[in-house]
Structure 1
Amino acid sequence: MHYIESGAGTPLVLLHAYPVDARMWTPLRVRLEDQARVIAPDQRGLGESSLDGSSAHGLATPPEERLVAEAPSVDVVAADILALLDELELPRVVLGGCSMGGYVATALLRAAPQRVAGLLLVDTKAPADTEEAKAKRIGAAERAEREGTAGWLAEDMLPALLGETTRRDRPEVVATARELIESQPADGVAWAQRAMAQRPDGLRALEEFDGPSLVAVGEEDGVTPPSEARRMVEALPRGELVVLPGSGHLPSLEVPDELASAVRPWLSRIEP
């Protein structure tokens, strides 16, 4: 699994959204690296992490050594993250996730809550998909497999991922988000959509987690709006909420200063 790491201090693992990769966290990572050891992995099939778990994209793996990709599941990605924590000899970390990364974080909570010293959920939600949402995901996965993603995925996703303020006033953020989306491999995009479509409801895992939890949400997020964030805070025994004005679904790109200002004091209170 490919990952980006910088800083020193409390280990903070940040799981990225769909359909981007660990680079979405760079503006936040550099703002926290004087306080935390920030580790941002590319989830399976996205960024530079392979779909079959055998190597990073761009590395030549002989055909006879390639593995068959496992069936799509956020539990598989959570297992990848746990294996990375073992490799890095990190028994406990502060775990953060945005959007799909939040679904993976919840899956990791179900599998190994003792590994999580604190939970940061950014623009994500707990409930499973409706049947309508599942069908939409499967349709997008099939289109990616059939056509690739060039020419349509970024155009479809950007209006939903970025808030109105960003789309109007921050062209450089729009360009960065577009580049991130357009660089993702079609097979990884399809696998991720199928994994998210099958995920279970996550409220129970949140209700059972008694560690410190911070839920951050962009005020302009139409994908997982502030109402979903409040629902998670109500479920978490030690949940705190911060709403970020001027941001949509990706505040680490859209308002990194404001997100860092919310995370820093919360993170300082956590004993890893």
Structure 2
Amino acid sequence: MSIIERFMRRVGAALLLAGTLAAPAHAAADSPIRSHSIAANGVELSYLEAGQGASGTPVVLLHGYAETSRMWLPLMQELQGRHRVIAPDLPGAGGSSMPASGYDKKTMAQDIHAMVHALGASKVKLVGHDIGLMVAYAYAAQYPDEVESIVLMDAFLPGVGDWQKVWLLRDKWHFDFYGDTPEKLVQGRECIYFEHFWNDFAADPARAMSEADRRFYAAAYARPGRMRAGFEYFHAFPQDALDFAGFAKTPLSMPMLVLAGEKASGTFLIDQARLVDPNVHGVIVKGSRHWLMEEAPAQTIAELVRFIDVADTK
């Protein structure tokens, strides 16, 4: 590695650290959102937390690919007065450690479950977007008695129903984009790579990711090993499909909210969710594609708050 490359990586790491601290610190002007880390199931997990003094069931927010726990800051602001809210960086992302294996969603859910228990909680309310919804479903399927409600936000469940025909699979080249050569091709071009997702998976790129968020996420994934870890989320899909097909044989019973972008998967995820849980309320987010929190924050946050605030059902 050249001196210039080493310098740029150090600059990127410094910017990421500054951004990580600045985001919660900025939010703290209105609410006490704090950044922490904890060892769980052999993985060091970084997480944001708010509403530590609130009573009731904690809410766990699970982010998707090309983002980190940072995506949940606006929702945490809305919830922190009534709920304890925990938003981890998934294994391999953000400030969390990068295990050598275990990027299948069953194992990642076990990591999050261990974190929840290490933080003194048992039952939770789950919210997941993109890859995060897969982890949320794997959590609920493995620990159904510990999940009071679950939200799935715009993506799909590998191995459930006719999952190979979902809209995202028309752009499935990146599912097999992993290994030394893809990592070398993307190195130093992380933002260019992510622009494909941020722009092409948005109804209107100008209303999707902000410039500040684009810089933050690109720097986060540009750190050594992070792109490899992110690629592994997709590399694990064949195993996820096998695991989820098995999970689906035992339907869930907790209330489930499904939010889907009008211009993305449409009703696909809603229909798919009803194959694994008969207690589904589906909502189409108007005018939005994949990035619901960024493209339609008002409708998305209102739906999430309304569902999460419903009295506990167990």
Give the shorter-chain TM-score range.
0.7 to 0.9
Question: Residue type of the partner of 1:216?
Answer: L
Taking only aligned residues, the RMSD between alpha carbons, in angstroms, comes to 2.5
Give the counterpart of 1:234 among 257, 274, 294: 274
Deviation by residue 1:137-194 (Cα, 9 ceiling, x = unmatched): 1225555423344323122212233222xx24x37x3424422441212222222222
Q: Quick one: percent identity of the two aligned structures? A: 26
Q: Secondary structure at the match of 2:86?
A: strand
Q: Secondary structure at the match of 1:51?
A: coil
For residues 1-272 of structure 1, what are the structure 2 equivalents within 5 Å?
1-7=45-51, 8-9=54-55, 10-52=57-99, 69-128=100-159, 130=164, 136-140=174-178, 143-151=181-189, 152-164=192-204, 167-168=205-206, 170=207, 173-182=209-218, 183-184=220-221, 185-200=226-241, 202=244, 205=247, 208-221=251-264, 225-235=265-275, 236-271=277-312
TM-score by length of 2: 0.71
Distance 1:143 1:246 in 2: 37
Shift of 1:233: 4.4
Shift of 1:113: 1.4
Deviation by residue 1:207-263 (Cα, 9 ceiling, x = unmatched): 611111111112222xxx122222134332110011111322121222222112112
CA, structure 1 residues 191+266, in 2 after alignment: closer, same or farther (shift >3 Å)?
A: same
CA, structure 1 residues 45+144, in 2 after alignment: closer, same or farther (shift >3 Å)?
A: farther
Distance 1:90 1:104 in 2: 18
**Contact in 1 for aligned 2:261/2:288 (Cα 8 Å):** yes
Q: Which residue of 1 aligns with 2:5?
A: none
CA, structure 1 residues 81+132, in 2 after alignment: closer, same or farther (shift >3 Å)?
A: same
Question: Residue type of the partner of 2:145?
Answer: Q
Question: Residue type of the partner of 2:274?
Answer: E
Q: Which ranges in structure 2 are unaligned for 5 or more consecutive residues?
A: 1-44
Distance 2:255 2:116 in 1: 20
CA, structure 1 residues 211+153, in 2 after alignment: closer, same or farther (shift >3 Å)?
A: same
Distance 1:237 1:25 in 2: 27
**Contact in 2 for aligned 1:11/1:93 (Cα 8 Å):** yes
Q: Secondary structure at the match of 2:58?
A: strand
**Contact in 1 for aligned 2:128/2:136 (Cα 8 Å):** yes
Q: Which ranges in structure 1 are unaligned for 5 or more consecutive residues?
A: 53-68
CA, structure 1 residues 216+96, in 2 after alignment: closer, same or farther (shift >3 Å)?
A: same
CA, structure 1 residues 100+255, in 2 after alignment: closer, same or farther (shift >3 Å)?
A: same
Structure number with greater CO (CA < 8 Å, separation at least 6) is: 1
Question: Residue type of the partner of 1:208?
Answer: P
